[in-house]
Chains A and B, each alone.
Chain A
């Protein structure tokens, strides 16, 4: 059995959620690694796009951000950011949005803006970028982030990208996304502990699978989640195969840009 790191399991779990015929818009970091891993394994025809305009990237080397020249090598077509985000995304051409974040709640609402009050934050992040548009208009979203109580929270410090249920402006009434005319919605959350999905009807997050091979238990997931989470349906997630690890380490991120070997 090959030893492996937690972030490798995350990248692999993310890759397994993607299908061969999907058009995926991808954010910087782990989402990029997951999508490229999927393309190098079970989903070679997957079309990867990036918000700066890269369309159908098949990079030879891992881009370190969504506007790295590596993502523009031999693309069949290049969009402007406006064509990609305003036209392709808005015309429902994007199947999956793959995003990271700093905070999430039980409806998959995402904060990638700040920790603490907006006007005087303890930590300020890069903000939405294209994330809010992607969360609203991709046919589904996959989210990836570290699993800690301060990140999986009852109440976000700031809502950057809407999930299944948000507060209506200005009266604050809880309202489902489809009532606001948004399609899509969060499909899965990949964390450092496992994979979460959202219950039909209530759209509340539940634990679907956990990284048992890394010693994670459903109880640990409960302890590290700041809201009540249903773990009754959870099953252990298969550890990485030798093939997945080999391709990740030799082809997708051999330099360890995001995997930090």
Chain B
């Protein structure tokens, strides 16, 4: 996104533009903040104008565990863990402590995920997703 709030979204922006206009406070978490100049020239992929945005945050992997077109795919390891943990309260509280409370910050969360894991969900920039990722949770191997 641009430093003054222009938001570029690839792979479809669904309801984001309408949600931004309908909200009193709009916070945009972007993969990367660039100069507005970089986003001029091709206005088509720009989804939200700066006047609809109040706060901008640069947070790489900010959409994790879900996918961001052209950057990273859905993280099947995360979903497998979460689904298993959400089946009972004790397991869920343990998961909550490990993955939310104890990581302290977004940086801490990414550090806990680890470079290998982030590398494994990286998307093909042209296709927009990772064509090699194992998506069957019951057949999911270890991160290696």
Give the residue of A53, A64, A68, A70 whose beta carbon is less than 8 angstroms from that of B14.
Answer: A53
Specify which of A54, A67, A73, A78 is in contact with B127 (CB 8 Å cutoff).
Answer: A73
User: Chain A's interface: helix, strand, loop or mixed, by majority?
Assistant: loop
- In the complex, the chain A residue whose C-beta lies closest to that of B73 is A69
Complex Cα distance, B7 from A139, in Å, reads 36
Q: Are B135 and A69 in contact (CB under 8 A)?
A: no
- Given the known interface contacts A61-B131, A257-B135, the answer about A72 and B12 at a Cβ–Cβ threshold of 8 Å is yes
Q: Is B54 an interface residue (CB 8 A)?
A: no
Interface 0/1 of B103-136, CB less than 8 Å to A:
0000000000000000000010001110100111
Contact B74 A68 (CB under 8 A): yes
A-B contact count (CB 8 A): 57
Contacts of A60 in B (CB 8 A): 127, 131
Please give, as numbers and ranges, the residues of chain A lying within 8 Å of B123 by CB-CB distance. Answer: 69
A238 CB-CB contact with B under 8 Å: no
**Complex CA–CA separation, A64 to B66 (angstroms):** 12
Interface digits, A45-84 against B, CB 8 Å rule (1 contact, 0 not)? Answer: 0000000111000001100100111101100001111100
Structural contact, B128 and A72, CB atoms closer than 8 A = yes
* Docked pose: A52 CA to B15 CA in angstroms: 8
Apart from A52-B12, A67-B14, A82-B15, what are 11 other A-B pairs with CB-CB below 8 Å? Answer: A54-B12, A60-B131, A61-B129, A64-B74, A68-B67, A69-B69, A72-B12, A72-B69, A80-B17, A81-B14, A255-B136
